[in-house]
Structure 1
Amino acid sequence: MNWQRHIGVYGICHDPATKKLCVIQKKGGPYDGMYDLPGGSLESNETLEEALKREFVEETGYQIEVVRSIGTADFLVEESKRNRCVHHIALYYEVLVKEGQARELPKKVSADSQVKPNDSGGVYWLDPSEASTVPLSPLVQKALDWLASGDLGVEAGSYSM
């Protein structure tokens, strides 16, 4: 089994009135077909905040304001189809959507001088009561835990895809 490490920044954006969480429909990677948090990898010469803002626009169309750092969580994700295990390290931030309309999602995005298809199939506002009925990435599960308890915890999660 091949091992890889992935470090990414992710935004927890929720509506306090409805308790709904902003998620995306993932198109690719280990979380393909699942609801996932907006966010992802840093590009060259990009700060954590810049990466998070860019990823949010690319994946949701929303401009955001970063409120605060929440913490870090990690997951061991075994992808048997690809014969690999990914140590996914996630840096979580609480974010707010800025006023105004969302932009249309780009079909392609650039990443360090490479153009690739957008891995977001669109934005969805997830009601926590739906959590047991839809496929969720480990990042969304951890975000829902944080919204319920105010704590990310310290244990690494293990998942098979």
Structure 2
Amino acid sequence: MVHKKHFGVYGVAYANGHLLCIKKKIGPYKNRFDLPGGSQKESEGLTETLVREIMEETGYGVSNYGHSRCYDVFIEDNSTDDIIHHIFVLYTIKVIKKYDKLPEPTHETNDSAGPIWVEISDLSAENVSPLVVKVIEELKGELDERVFDAKKYKNWVVSKD
């Protein structure tokens, strides 16, 4: 069993009952709805990562951001027997459309199948990443006093094609 740590920065765009998501192509959240965002590059600030990742994964520009918060989860991945400690910073964002086609990322694989605005009622624990679960809890006002305690997802199943 391998323990891995992943840190990422993600955007939460919510409008008219819909959440801006991406469909993951690879990794432990494959074929699930996830938030657009990802890993920092060397010497890159959090908001620089946010803006770059939103553009790369959705084609949207970020016109405004705020309300930063940080959470973490532990994923016990059934497909690899790895334990992933995913630490994520969320920013509430407003987006503007810039490109009709996703830009090609530099030096990395884009794990996004493109942007999709998903109605909140269509999102469930069975079809989303833990990041989206946290955002749904926020939107529904279901966070409790232990909101910042790490959640553990045991026996996480990677969705098949």
Q: TM-score interval w.r.t. the shorter chain?
A: 0.7 to 0.9
Distance 1:37 1:77 in 2: 16
Return the match for 1:74 from 50, 53, 72: 72
**Distance change >3 Å, CA 66–CA 6, structure 1 → 2:** farther
Query: Sequence identity, in percent?
Result: 35
**TM-score, with length taken from structure 1:** 0.87
Which secondary structure does the structure 2 equivalent of 1:75 belong to?
strand
Distance 1:101 1:51 in 2: 17
Does 41-50 or 142-151 show the bigger shift?
142-151
Which secondary structure does the structure 2 equivalent of 1:142 belong to?
helix
Q: Deviations over 1:39-87 (max 9, x none)?
A: 0100011000000000000000000034213311111011122221110
Distance 1:44 1:122 in 2: 25
Q: 1:83 aligned to 2:91?
A: no
**TM-score, with length taken from structure 2:** 0.87
Aligned 1:84-123 pairs, distance under 5 A? 84-98=82-96, 100-106=97-103, 108-110=104-106, 115-123=107-115
Total equivalences in the alignment = 153
Residue 55 of structure 2 is matched in structure 1 by 57
Distance 2:65 2:75 in 1: 29
Query: Is the 1:9–1:92 Cα contact (8 Å) retained in structure 2?
Result: yes
Structure 1: gaps spanning 5 or more residues: none
Q: 1:128 aligned to 2:126?
A: no
4+ residue runs over 6 A deviation: none
Aligned 1:10-29 pairs, distance under 5 A? 10-15=10-15, 18-29=16-27
Query: Is the 1:43–1:51 Cα contact (8 Å) retained in structure 2?
Result: yes
Query: Is the 2:19–2:120 Cα contact (8 Å) retained in structure 1?
Result: yes
Distance 2:125 2:46 in 1: 32
- Structure 2: which amino acid aligns with 1:125? W
